[in-house]
Structure 1
Amino acid sequence: MNSKTSTKRRHFLKLGASVPVLGLMGACGSDNTTPPAIAGIPSPTNPTESPGNPVAPNPVEPPVVIPASHPPRGVHASLFSDASTSRGLCWFTDGLDSPAAEIQWGPVPVGMSMEAARNAVQNPLPNMTTASTSQTTGLDNQTHKVVVNGIDPDQPFRYRVGSEMGGWSDVFIIAPTPKANEAWTMVHFGDHGIGELPQRLTAELMKPRHKHDLLLLAGDLSYANGEQPIWDVWFDQNQALLATTTTMAVPGNHENKDSVAANVPLLPFKDYAFNNRFNQPGDVSFFSFDYNRVHFFGFTAGAFLEDGKILKEMAALEADLAMAALRRALGQIDFIVIFQHYTIWTDQEGRAPGNPTLIAVEDQILLRYGVDMVLCGHDHVYQRSKPMMLGLANPLGYVQVMTGTGGQSIREFEPEISAWSEKHFVGLGFSKYTISPGKIVSQYFGTPPISSDDRSRVQHENIESDFELVDEFEIRPRPLQIAKSFVKPPRTEQELAKAHDWQRIYAHTLARNCAHEQTMPKSTLHEYQRIYPNLLG
């Protein structure tokens, strides 16, 4: 499929204007052969109402409905500067001639039903903010982004996007962010796709029993791999979830393929489809945010190595965690959570026991500042670790929750499971976390394949059982004295550059990306070897 081919879905309706021809009655004495009507006796040309023959009113032509020229689609919402009062919205329209787009928004007033709130005609939305527009990466379509501030933190947030000329989306409603002293929930998974299994997972998440306030997508989302229209399919399939749930996403190695296939110049990549299609703070692909008393840092962890920002990302991670560790010691937050695509430690078949590249740098940073949890995907299995340091069980370490079971494919484990592993599962599923003051309860809901002999790397559709609770564990905040021990000054980017062999880190990660998923052609790898003469050391 040609990625530059427009995926326009508009259907233009040619409307012919019909003008009724009116017969003109002649004046008195004119040559009119129509006989005059006799009182009480209707005639075909001049019907007269009688008690036994009421005359029907003149028929009213139904209004002509002109289809929207640029209907919004793929609507999704994210967090921005403040979890309670701001949201980032993003959506798409077909073609490059879309009119200026906007968001209309406001609260759901007390006493208004959800049905009434979704009727923007009878209950207009009081606020409007204009969106920015850019061309969608690899397509002759447009991406629209807007950030809304000043949301009422106590009422549900309702909104619609589009324009009067181009057409409007449905009215979507997002529940208010729970207060810091209230329990709230989040869901995390990665490695999704557009097949039957991913859609089944999405449908499960829409059920009331899995209601959640925050959704974390751990990379490898659409598996477009450069075929940009697949992104449109993925967003359309998941709009009901993403438009009504605050969502944050990090890119994976399959998002990296989108930049390569788009034929973007080698250094630096400026046109990742992921960055175009998500509206998130910071650098889009790496960012931090607070949700009540939990601090999150999300980043590529090497998935976008070719953009030349991996050292910058690690320096940003170092600075962010240093501040988070201080805030935790001061009692401002309870937990520090890392959110990324690549797993650090794994027992998936063919990839165990870990990822030396990430261990070389990231593991040390996580341990330096006492990170509580690492949420990731990449390997298409579920595996939860004990608190660990460098692959060894240690109560001062972090818990890694690998949930790569979004449905793209199902894979198997090595015959021997590592000592750091606490629980592992093969199948389709997601992790759900309930956070209350001083506690995180993590639950994994999954469903296994029908038969154990069909656990393969390819997509299959042989899962029929319900999602059931597979794993559950709890994390408590670190004691104050231990929390204080993680308060350390951040190292600068220059200090990190000197502390590690970045040539070797680049080389290993590039080779890993290329070998695992063929994300980089050999010609590109050779070009990097030319730029970095000692790349393979």
Structure 2
Amino acid sequence: MELKLKIILLLLLSLTTILFICATVRAGEEVEYLRPPPRKAFRLPWDPKPSSQPQQVHISLAGDKHIRVSWVTTDKSSPSIVEYGTSTGKYSYKAQGESTKYSYVLYRSGMIHHTVIGPLQDNTVYFYRCGGEDPEFQFKTPPSKFPVTFAVAGDLGQTGWTKSTLDHIDQCKYDVHLLPGDLSYADYIQHRWDTFGQLVQPLASARPWMVTQGNHEKEYIPFVVDEFISYNSRWKMPFEESGSTSNLYYSFDVAGVHTIMLGSYTDYDDYSDQYRWLKADLQKVDRKKTPWLVVLFHVPWYNSNEAHQGEADDMMTSMEPLLYAAGADIVFAGHVHAYERTRRVYNGKPDPCGAVHITIGDGGNKEGLARKYKLPQPEWSVFREASFGHGELAIINSTHASWSWHRNDDDEPVRSDQVSITSLIDSGCSSIRVMN
């Protein structure tokens, strides 16, 4: 009798355990993902280098079939030359560039070199060295035709989560990195620009990094320092090549994608230089050559997070009609430290001829995540989550692309959102694509 009682109790215990597990799994489907806390600043080990050795090496696109190589040396007499070729250790070509430096209160930058090399072959690995000094670096040029893949991450900073994000991006087979503002989080402490350059060098020296400014690049001291002197000196983008007069906004082409980088922190009203440049740039777009139109800026226009509500309303009022008339496909923004993806939207409402807006300001900043979202969720908002991560935009052909967002989950990249996006090229929206 005692044995039967034990068996019954054991069965009841097993049944209770099973029911508890099932209830936990079901509850887990409804309970919000438990996000890890912010991580401390990431510190690179001290590694003194010769004054002429290139540091903080990064590359960017500089017009058709050209790449701009940027680096810093503490030796102010170091030449701004880049030697390069398609075989390791064999440099068939050499290019001469320019150098600059800046002062910021008591800080004195090293020599910041910018050298444009090319013309280059598409989809080809090049080996190069800067200033006639080792080490040798290598990069791969983007393809001239589809498919093409972009890695996307904003608001990076220099924390443990930043390192995790960069490690995950390094696992991605991508051609160009897009960064919608807030790079180093130096916040007036200039040596943090140097440490950021060292942190991103392994990736930024191997694939083009195309960036635009965020609020943390704005380091203004009235009557003393220009607000973007650090950013403009270190991260020169192809603004001149795209007919812009400011490093804060520009455009470039990759394969069949025309990408526009706008400035949330420079004038954007109907009478501004940026507005006039954007209108002229959009009028030059040939959708037969570049069927995809992608736009980046820092402050999101569509944001259901409680953080930074309304900050971009004026810019949106001024510029959204231009992007809508031009048939912009995808708009990336940062600033809000969380992830959100919308439907195609225009003027605050779902619209099949509007752009898909993606907020991806969750690269790993020091300020932590923006955890609170507005309720109810707007009808234009599809997916939102406050986690660190990065995105991958794989444009397959002239009409189809795949977007995925990868959460940094315990240092493993977990694909949390994925969607196929069809371009507007054959959408029937062409009747509204006329700008006066």
- Does TM, normalized by the shorter one, top 0.5? yes
Does structure 1 conserve the Cα–Cα contact (< 8 Å) formed by 2:383 and 2:417?
Answer: yes
Q: Hey, what's the Cα distance between the residues in 1 that align with 2:383 and 2:411?
A: 21
Q: Specify the SS of the correspondent of 1:471.
A: strand
* 1:474 alignment partner, one of 417, 420, 430: 420
Q: Hey, what's the Cα distance between the residues in 2 that align with 1:300 and 1:132?
A: 25
Tell me the residue number matched to 1:175.
Answer: 140
Offset of 1:483 from its aligned partner? 4.8
Q: Hey, what's the Cα distance between the residues in 2 that align with 1:251 and 1:435?
A: 25
Offset of 1:101 from its aligned partner? 2.8
Q: Deviations over 1:119-146 (max 9, x none)?
A: x3xxx31111122111145324211001
For residues 59-70 of structure 1, the aligned pairs below 5 Å read 68-70=50-52
Offset of 1:359 from its aligned partner? 2.3
Higher RCO, Cα 8 Å, sep 6+? 2
Q: Could you tell me the TM-score, scaled by structure 1's length?
A: 0.66
Does structure 1 conserve the Cα–Cα contact (< 8 Å) formed by 2:332 and 2:357?
Answer: yes
Q: Hey, what's the Cα distance between the residues in 2 that align with 1:140 and 1:185?
A: 34
Q: Hey, what's the Cα distance between the residues in 1 that align with 2:178 and 2:94?
A: 28
- In structure 2, do the counterparts of structure 1 residues 289 and 229 end up closer, same or farther at CA, with 3 Å as the change threshold? same
Does structure 1 conserve the Cα–Cα contact (< 8 Å) formed by 2:179 and 2:212?
Answer: yes
Per mean C-alpha deviation after superposition, the further-off stretch among 182-191 and 134-143 is: 134-143
Offset of 1:413 from its aligned partner? 2.7
Tell me the residue number matched to 1:497.
Answer: none
Does structure 1 conserve the Cα–Cα contact (< 8 Å) formed by 2:292 and 2:425?
Answer: no
Q: Hey, what's the Cα distance between the residues in 2 that align with 1:106 and 1:340?
A: 34
Q: Hey, what's the Cα distance between the residues in 2 that align with 1:429 and 1:72?
A: 30
Does structure 2 conserve the Cα–Cα contact (< 8 Å) formed by 1:322 and 1:487?
Answer: no
- In structure 2, do the counterparts of structure 1 residues 350 and 332 end up closer, same or farther at CA, with 3 Å as the change threshold? closer
Q: Hey, what's the Cα distance between the residues in 2 that align with 1:106 and 1:69?
A: 25
Offset of 1:308 from its aligned partner? 10
* 2:112 alignment partner, one of 143, 150, 154: 143
Does structure 1 conserve the Cα–Cα contact (< 8 Å) formed by 2:339 and 2:384?
Answer: yes
Q: Specify the SS of the correspondent of 1:238.
A: helix
- In structure 2, do the counterparts of structure 1 residues 313 and 353 end up closer, same or farther at CA, with 3 Å as the change threshold? closer
Tell me the residue number matched to 1:297.
Answer: 260
* 1:152 alignment partner, one of 111, 121, 124: 121
* 2:317 alignment partner, one of 360, 382, 387: 360
- In structure 2, do the counterparts of structure 1 residues 486 and 89 end up closer, same or farther at CA, with 3 Å as the change threshold? farther
Matched, 1:224 2:186: yes
Q: Hey, what's the Cα distance between the residues in 2 that align with 1:169 and 1:363?
A: 47
Tell me the residue number matched to 1:192.
Answer: 156
Tell me the residue number matched to 2:99.
Answer: 133
Matched, 1:323 2:280: no
AA in 2 matched with 1:172: F
Q: For structure 2, list consecutive stretches of 5 or more residues without a partner in the other structure.
A: 1-45, 240-245
Tell me the residue number matched to 1:99.
Answer: 78
Q: Hey, what's the Cα distance between the residues in 2 that align with 1:232 and 1:304?
A: 25
Q: How many residues align?
A: 378
Tell me the residue number matched to 2:33.
Answer: none
Offset of 1:489 from its aligned partner? 3.7
For residues 429-444 of structure 1, the aligned pairs below 5 Å read 429-437=389-397, 438-444=399-405
Offset of 1:379 from its aligned partner? 0.4
AA in 2 matched with 1:467: P
- In structure 2, do the counterparts of structure 1 residues 356 and 441 end up closer, same or farther at CA, with 3 Å as the change threshold? same
Q: Specify the SS of the correspondent of 2:218.
A: helix
Q: Hey, what's the Cα distance between the residues in 2 that align with 1:385 and 1:310?
A: 30
Tell me the residue number matched to 1:418.
Answer: 378
Q: Hey, what's the Cα distance between the residues in 2 that align with 1:250 and 1:137?
A: 22
AA in 1 matched with 2:179: L
Tell me the residue number matched to 1:255.
Answer: 217
AA in 1 matched with 2:73: T
Does structure 2 conserve the Cα–Cα contact (< 8 Å) formed by 1:185 and 1:213?
Answer: yes
Offset of 1:220 from its aligned partner? 0.6
AA in 2 matched with 1:369: A
- In structure 2, do the counterparts of structure 1 residues 177 and 10 end up closer, same or farther at CA, with 3 Å as the change threshold? closer
Matched, 1:90 2:77: no
- In structure 2, do the counterparts of structure 1 residues 351 and 69 end up closer, same or farther at CA, with 3 Å as the change threshold? closer
Q: Please identify which structure carries the higher strand content.
A: 2
Q: Hey, what's the Cα distance between the residues in 1 that align with 2:254 and 2:200?
A: 23
Q: Hey, what's the Cα distance between the residues in 1 that align with 2:373 and 2:124?
A: 49
Matched, 1:370 2:327: yes
Matched, 1:234 2:191: no
Q: Specify the SS of the correspondent of 1:263.
A: coil
Offset of 1:286 from its aligned partner? 0.9
Does structure 2 conserve the Cα–Cα contact (< 8 Å) formed by 1:137 and 1:228?
Answer: no
Q: Deviations over 1:138-170 (max 9, x none)?
A: 32421100111222335312211023xxxx242
For residues 261-300 of structure 1, the aligned pairs below 5 Å read 263-264=224-225, 272-282=229-239, 283-300=246-263
Q: Deviations over 1:376-398 (max 9, x none)?
A: 11100000011011121111111
- In structure 2, do the counterparts of structure 1 residues 253 and 226 end up closer, same or farther at CA, with 3 Å as the change threshold? same
Greater C-alpha Rg: 1
Q: Hey, what's the Cα distance between the residues in 1 that align with 2:173 and 2:426?
A: 33
Q: Specify the SS of the correspondent of 2:324.
A: helix
Q: Specify the SS of the correspondent of 1:386.
A: strand
Q: Deviations over 1:411-434 (max 9, x none)?
A: 113241222101001111011011
Does structure 1 conserve the Cα–Cα contact (< 8 Å) formed by 2:155 and 2:361?
Answer: yes
Q: Deviations over 1:79-137 (max 9, x none)?
A: 0111xx21011111125x333231111123xxxxxxxx2xx3xxx31111122111145
- In structure 2, do the counterparts of structure 1 residues 346 and 131 end up closer, same or farther at CA, with 3 Å as the change threshold? same
Q: Hey, what's the Cα distance between the residues in 2 that align with 1:447 and 1:133?
A: 38
Does structure 1 conserve the Cα–Cα contact (< 8 Å) formed by 2:340 and 2:383?
Answer: yes
Q: Hey, what's the Cα distance between the residues in 1 that align with 2:364 and 2:355?
A: 26
Q: For structure 1, list consecutive stretches of 5 or more residues without a partner in the other structure.
A: 1-8, 12-66, 109-116, 449-463, 491-537
Q: Specify the SS of the correspondent of 1:205.
A: helix
- In structure 2, do the counterparts of structure 1 residues 404 and 154 end up closer, same or farther at CA, with 3 Å as the change threshold? closer
Tell me the residue number matched to 2:347.
Answer: 390
Q: Hey, what's the Cα distance between the residues in 1 that align with 2:269 and 2:329?
A: 28
* 2:59 alignment partner, one of 74, 77, 84: 77
Q: Specify the SS of the correspondent of 1:482.
A: coil
AA in 2 matched with 1:159: Y
Matched, 1:162 2:157: no
Does structure 1 conserve the Cα–Cα contact (< 8 Å) formed by 2:80 and 2:115?
Answer: no
